Chain A
């Protein structure tokens, strides 16, 4: 399951999409809207995507993960439009034979998504808004575009 959706994401649907009888775990990751950025109150986020390329990229990331970790099954859904504080903007589910490859594949898919998939994020504050880009590497804070 690879999709871009305008409505809240149901993590249970992704879990069911990836679970197989040879799996010993399902790792479900949810990226959710945080209520502050550098001390400013964030009211909501808004996402947009270049859908044809974003879907192709997500499929390529899934295929890469499933090839790298045998037995793993990946599903990724990203939300577009307005996402309120506390709601999920992205859900990644990974079914895996064992937890090491489950955690590793989950992390790999998220970092690859953040690095290259053509999805853009606008933070909306009480007093304005800003487009935010993902920092290079895995632990940096977002930066202004």
Chain B
């Protein structure tokens, strides 16, 4: 099964209790599916999702070795 590295920031890092984790996913898993796998079905969706440091659509299928980030609402400035 493919494995992906998920980096967590801000409130989502606190929710998961870790800054990064390696997750096994089924073939064909989309980012939105991975989000549900980690945070639960019906969890508030992030404002954006990134794969390998680029924003991509939630329906994007993840591949083995990908780096994934679910971006909570930003607070820079």
Q: Which residues of A contact B (CB under 8 A)?
A: 31, 47-50, 52-54, 56, 78, 89-90, 110, 113-122, 131-134, 142, 145
Contact = CB atoms under 8 A, between A and B. Distances in A.
Contacts, number: 78
Interface residues of B, number: 18
Interface of B: 7, 9-11, 14, 48, 50, 53-55, 69, 71-77
A121 B76 CA distance: 6
A30 to B, nearest CB: 11
Q: In the A-B complex, list the 9 residue pairs whose CB atoms are closest, starting with the nearest.
A: A119-B76, A120-B10, A133-B73, A121-B75, A52-B53, A114-B77, A131-B11, A145-B11, A132-B75
The B interface, classified by DSSP as helix, strand, loop or mixed, is: mixed
A50 B50 CA distance: 10
A133 B74 contact: yes
A90 B26 CA distance: 41
Contacts of B73: 133-134, 145
A144 to B, nearest CB: 9
A114 B47 CA distance: 13
Contacts of A119: 74-77
Contacts of B77: 31, 89-90, 110, 113-114, 119, 134
Contact of B10 (A52, A54, A78, A145): A145
